[in-house]
Amino acid sequence: MKNLLIAVLVITSIALGAVCLHQQRQLAQTETQLAGVQNQLQEKSRADEEILSAERRAKILQNALTETAVAAGEQSKQVAQLQKSLAATKTNANTGGLAAMFKEPKMKELIKSQQKAFVGPMLDKQYAALFQQLNLTPDQTAGLKDLLQKKMSVGMDAGMSMLDGSLDAGQRADLAKQMKSETDDYDAQIKQFLGDDNYPAFQNYEKTIPDRMTVSQFNDQLAGSATALNADQQQQLIQAMNDARTSFKWTTDYNDKNPANGDYASMFSDDKINQYTQEKEQFDRQFLTRAQQILTPEQATVFQQFQTAQRELQIAGMKMAAQMFAPKSQ
């Protein structure tokens, strides 16, 4: 995965997903406890005082269950969780918050398992149009998916390693060189696999992946409702977003800009993140006007809210990465 911003945000999302999974497991334990209390209430006829006591315990557990379920379902809570982690990770010397999470063996194993569960379905969704465009057989599709998954794993594994606050500049530079070498190797294998005729189409398609991911996330938000996007709207939105993003005059652009020397601290400096934030807000306002020509008024209203939520999550993830990448002396 050449796009560092996508890699960082995907890793952040997977990490948050792992945290949520951990919370869900705790939630399941709470449900089991609740079921036990309820069974006691149904099966036993005890003194009024004992029944009231059990009811009180059940009520406490039910309240905890309800509050946890509601919190897990709100996207804004992801932003708040990242911001809380940022506050807990002031410097690389302080390995609390998410920094400690990336080093804890059990959590790293959980994140990697979530990564494997995420990548396969993501490839199916984001590359389905390419498989169809190239008219690949099922065996060819499976072979290309395998190469894509391996290539993506290189960037995600390296990205997770680089978020270890204990690494110095030299170690990050070595990781960056290794990531580039392995990624280039998989690109060469994909070119050989597809042939000279199909490889240019693959390269052009890959440039639209950030936009396809954004539109897919927005469409998932609308899925099952009366305002869901149709296939034509999705394709128009992807093309319009790609045209707008590639033609926008970015001063600070995180697309395909991996520093060869591994100096991610400079890349994620406060000045550059602030500049990107301003430009992203400007881009979103401008693109909203274009999106309104594709979407219905109801869809456009939801899209504007989606833009804000996504931008806040991106910036929070980038700030988290900045603190991980900061020099140890800070």
Distance in angstroms (rounded) separating the CA atoms of residues 313 and 324: 17
Q: Per-residue pLDDT tens for 136-192?
A: 999 999 999 999 999 988 877 777 777 666 777 788 788 888 888 999 999 999 999
Reply yes or no on whether the pLDDT at 290 is more than 90.
yes
Burial 144-171, CB ≥16 within 10 A → b, else e? bbebbebbbbbbbbbbbebbbbebebee
Distance in angstroms (rounded) separating the CA atoms of residues 247 and 50: 70
Give the number of other CB atoms < 10 A from CB of residue 101: 20
Distance in angstroms (rounded) separating the CA atoms of residues 118 and 13: 10
Q: Per-residue pLDDT tens for 30-74?
A: 566 655 555 555 555 554 555 555 455 444 444 434 443 343 344
Q: Quick one: average pLDDT of 246-251? A: 90
Task: Say what the pLDDT of residue 194 is.
Answer: 96
Is 21 within 8 Å of 111 (Cβ atoms)?
Answer: no
User: Is 127 exposed, middle or buried (CB count within 10 Å of its CB: 0-12, 13-18, 19+)?
Assistant: buried
| Structure-token pair, residue 319 | 């700030």
